[in-house]
């Protein structure tokens, strides 16, 4: 007997109502134990809000317009009722449950249907993902209609959550590792490592169920299965890093591009982004380059792709992003936005994993097989002055800063540790004024937690928006901020309030971009609030003119894109 999907939905419902991690882990462990082997991976993926394993490149491609239209048609409720349910819960899945419950037709239909099982739901999701080409929208809709038509309100809630990829139960991948470890009595560190090697915890769970500890410890890398990259911590100064790394370290240029993991097996090359999505089609020239240059039949390499301007200087990150998005006219884009690959690590070579080898060894081997592909510029030193000069040189040639790598460090998959440090020249923070705010989602749906940040225009006196952020404040501060903003509200439009510009906040950011999004033509990238500046009045906040100056300064070091 197959396990019903209802059981999974009920489990998620329990997860949603508790925040006790140990209880969550036990509930999921018990659930996984009771499943059939072929249900383990689909269930684990779905509990995490994924239709498929993480390495799987298939996507559902179901738009919210399609989905919401279908929900309304199935339940026969008007747009207002659905919007009302959403307003009450702040969650699309929960709103779906409410309208499904309100619709009698739906309830009656499900009484006569066979219950949905975990495998039936997975197969439907596969069918939806595999539908492409002409008329696919209608076919996807029909498949969805069948699936949701057979669902109870509770099941519909979780199917919708999986479709949009957001569970919001608080049960994340780290907890899933603990649950798998508990369910199948495999030590937690082995489960973690296996998750990183295979790229999917669901698959690890299935292997753990059948083969136990032994099977899990035997897992190895596989080409074309991207793995979680090693990450770097932030450091403020080079001397701090040299000390932390034991008196001497390797400094590499930190390039401001996109990290890529390149997998090669004989003549086949695939490229994965930092988030492990397959981006091969966007970079045919990098595929050709790897095929021609890399002297290895099998390899997993890591590097940074950067966009370059006419004079060979790197272009701001946003230009590179255009290459990622573009799947049509790729060859044309190769000429318009040329990119360069710089390699910095070698993780796997001709059947051997190199993650347990020290950094210097990996880098040496990388140099031996890289052919004509450049490695990131590097120096090894214990002299802070020399490191400082190298940092300056990196910035002056248009790069972001440095990455310091401990000489004997192993490659720690997915871990942000002290073995790698990133050192950036920081941009000065800005003091900006909150001019509007939006209610958040999920837990934050009653709070004004998303803020529009503005700088004063000296010429017109107007406050012009240059960014938006929901990052930086604690829950307590958000609650307090909500109260203050409500008192300052001039106008309410749906879930947004426009306020009198009164509250000043200090904002850190990574870059100022040119952007048509706001009237001032600029936008902050990765803005986050670092402090509430109650000591400053809006008149004392930073001006658009200053923002523009900082923006221009960025360009002095970077090539202009025309
Ligand atoms: P983080 O991702 O926050 O750990 O910051 C490190 C990021 O810097 C990586 O993800 C890479 O995209 C990027 N990066 C640029 N140059 C290098 C380099 N030489 N070594 C490692 N990472 C680099």
What is the CATH number for 486? 2.40.50.140
Residues 401 and 325 in one domain: yes
Least confident of 37-51, 75-89, 496-510, 516-530: 75-89
The number of angstroms, rounded, from the C-alpha of 324 to the middle of its chain's C-alpha atoms is: 15
Distance 211 CA to ligand 1 centre (A): 36
Residue with tokens 């501060």: 477
Per residue in 122-167, pLDDT (tens digit) is 999 999 999 988 888 899 999 999 999 999 999 999 999 999 888 9
Residue 344: inside a domain, yes or no? Answer: yes
Per residue in 261-274, pLDDT (tens digit) is 999 999 999 999 98
The preferred substitution site among 422, 424, 510 for testing ligand 1, maximizing ligand atoms within 8 Å of CB, is 422
Q: Which domain holds residue 520?
A: 430-556
Residues 357 and 329 in one domain: yes
pLDDT band (50, 70, 90) for residue 111: low
Say what the alpha-carbon torsion angle 168, 85, 113, 38 is, to the nearest 10 degrees.
Answer: -10
The preferred substitution site among 229, 231, 234, 259 for testing ligand 1, maximizing ligand atoms within 8 Å of CB, is 259
Residue 561: inside a domain, yes or no? Answer: no
Residues 151 and 267 in one domain: no
Antiparallel, parallel or unpaired: β 249-254 and 463-469: unpaired
Mean pLDDT calculated for residue range 326-348: 89
Distance 231 CA to ligand 1 centre (A): 7
**Final residue belonging to a domain, choices 389, 407, 424:** 424
Residue 265: inside a domain, yes or no? Answer: yes
Residues 523 and 378 in one domain: no
Residues 435 and 354 in one domain: no
Mean pLDDT calculated for residue range 46-63: 87
Of 418, 405, 397, 419, the C-alpha closest to 255 is: 397
Separation in Å, CA 191 to CA 27, 33, 175, 345, 444: 18, 16, 11, 24, 33
Return the SS3 of 256. coil
Residue 354: inside a domain, yes or no? Answer: yes
* Residue 143 and residue 128 in contact, taking contact as beta carbons nearer than 8 Å: yes
Residue 8: inside a domain, yes or no? Answer: no
Residue 380: the pLDDT is 98
Residue 317, phi then psi, degrees to nearest 5: -50, -35
Active site residue 254: yes
Residue 33: inside a domain, yes or no? Answer: no
* Residue 527 and residue 509 in contact, taking contact as beta carbons nearer than 8 Å: yes
Residues 418 and 495 in one domain: no
**Final residue belonging to a domain, choices 376, 405, 424:** 424
Closest protein CA for atom 10 of ligand 1: 259
Residues 258 and 383 in one domain: yes
Residues 415 and 499 in one domain: no
**Final residue belonging to a domain, choices 404, 424, 444:** 424
Within 6 A (CB) of ligand 1 lie 231-232, 252-255, 259, 274, 304, 344, 376, 403, 422
Check which CATH number belongs to the domain holding 349 and give it.
Answer: 3.30.470.30
CA distance 533 to 431: 8
Query: Of ligand 1's atoms, which has the minimum distance to the CA of residue 256?
Result: 15
pLDDT band (50, 70, 90) for residue 546: confident
Residues 388 and 241 in one domain: yes
Residue with tokens 């950011």: 509
Query: Of ligand 1's atoms, which has the minimum distance to the CA of residue 252?
Result: 19
Separation in Å, CA 486 to CA 130, 291, 442, 533: 47, 59, 20, 18
Residue 208: inside a domain, yes or no? Answer: no
* Residue 430 and residue 545 in contact, taking contact as beta carbons nearer than 8 Å: no
Per residue in 172-223, pLDDT (tens digit) is 999 999 999 999 999 999 999 898 888 789 999 999 999 999 999 988 888 9
Residues 316 and 408 in one domain: yes
**Choosing from 54, 140, 228, 254, which is the catalytic residue?**
254
Residues 110 and 59 in one domain: yes
* Residue 376 and residue 304 in contact, taking contact as beta carbons nearer than 8 Å: yes
Whether residue 507 is predicted with pLDDT greater than 50 in this model: the reply is yes
Query: Of ligand 1's atoms, which has the minimum distance to the CA of residue 274?
Result: 10
Return the SS3 of 530. strand
Distance 57 CA to ligand 1 centre (A): 24
Residues 252 and 313 in one domain: yes
Closest protein CA for atom 6 of ligand 1: 232
Query: Of ligand 1's atoms, which has the minimum distance to the CA of residue 234?
Result: 3
Residue 525, phi then psi, degrees to nearest 5: -100, 135
> Domain tally for the chain?
3
Residue 191: inside a domain, yes or no? Answer: no
Check which CATH number belongs to the domain holding 84 and give it.
Answer: 1.10.3260.10
Per residue in 390-446, pLDDT (tens digit) is 998 998 888 889 999 999 999 988 888 899 999 976 667 899 999 999 999 888 999
């Amino acid at each position: 007997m197959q396990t019903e999907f209802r059981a999974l939905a009920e489990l998620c419902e329990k997860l949603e109502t508790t925040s006790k991690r140990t209880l969550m882990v036990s509930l999921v462990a018990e659930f996984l134990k009771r499943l059939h082997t072929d249900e383990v991976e689909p269930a684990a993926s779905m509990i995490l809000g994924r239709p498929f394993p993480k390495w799987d490149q298939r996507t559902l491609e179901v738009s919210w317009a399609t989905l919401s239209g279908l929900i309304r048609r199935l339940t026969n409720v008007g747009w207002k009722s659905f919007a009302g349910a959403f307003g009450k819960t702040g969650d699309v899945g929960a709103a779906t449950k409410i309208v499904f419950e309100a619709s009698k037709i739906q309830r009656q239909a499900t009484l006569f249907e066979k219950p949905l099982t975990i495998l039936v739901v997975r197969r439907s999701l596969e069918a939806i993902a595999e539908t492409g080409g002409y008329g696919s929208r209608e076919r996807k809709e029909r498949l969805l209609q069948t699936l949701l038509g057979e669902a109870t309100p509770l099941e519909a809630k979780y199917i919708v959550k999986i479709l949009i990829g957001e569970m919001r139960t608080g049960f994340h991948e780290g907890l899933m590792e603990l649950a798998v470890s508990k369910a199948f009595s495999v030590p937690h560190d082995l489960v973690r490592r296996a998750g990183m090697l295979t790229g999917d915890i669901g698959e690890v769970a299935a292997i753990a169920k059948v083969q136990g500890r032994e099977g899990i410890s035997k897992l190895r890398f596989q080409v074309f299965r991207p793995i979680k990259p090693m990450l770097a911590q932030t450091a403020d100064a080079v001397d701090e890093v040299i000390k932390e790394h034991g008196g001497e370290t390797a400094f590499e240029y930190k390039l401001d591009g996109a990290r890529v993991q390149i997998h090669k097996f004989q003549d086949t090359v695939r490229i994965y982004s930092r988030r492990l999505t397959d981006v091969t089609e966007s970079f045919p020239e990098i595929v050709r380059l790897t095929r021609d240059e890399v002297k290895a039949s099998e390899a997993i390499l890591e590097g940074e792709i950067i966009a370059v301007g006419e004079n060979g200087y790197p272009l701001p990150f946003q230009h590179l992003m255009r290459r990622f998005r573009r799947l049509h006219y790729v060859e044309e884009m190769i000429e318009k936005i040329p990119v360069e690959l710089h390699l910095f690590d070698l993780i796997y070579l001709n059947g051997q994993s190199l993650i347990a080898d020290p950094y210097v060894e990996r880098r040496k081997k990388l140099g031996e097989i890289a052919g004509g592909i450049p490695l990131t510029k590097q120096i090894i030193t214990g002299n802070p002055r020399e490191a400082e000069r190298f940092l300056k040189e990196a910035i002056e040639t248009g790069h972001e800063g440095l990455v310091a790598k401990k000489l004997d460090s192993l490659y720690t998959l997915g871990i942000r540790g002290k073995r790698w440090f990133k050192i950036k020249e920081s941009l000065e923070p800005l003091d900006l004024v909150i001019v509007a705010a939006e209610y958040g989602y999920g837990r934050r749906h009653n709070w004004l937690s998303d803020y529009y940040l503005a700088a004063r225009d000296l010429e017109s006196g107007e406050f012009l928006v240059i960014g938006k952020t929901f990052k930086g404040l604690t829950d307590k501060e958000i609650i307090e901020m909500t109260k203050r903003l409500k008192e300052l509200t001039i106008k309410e439009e749906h879930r947004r309030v426009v306020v009198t510009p009164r509250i000043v906040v200090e904002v850190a950011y990574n870059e100022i971009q040119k952007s048509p999004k706001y009237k001032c033509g600029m936008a902050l990238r990765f803005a986050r609030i670092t402090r509430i500046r109650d000591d400053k009045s809006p008149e004392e906040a930073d001006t658009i003119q200053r923002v523009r100056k900082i923006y221009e300064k960025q360009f002095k070091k970077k090539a202009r894109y025309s």
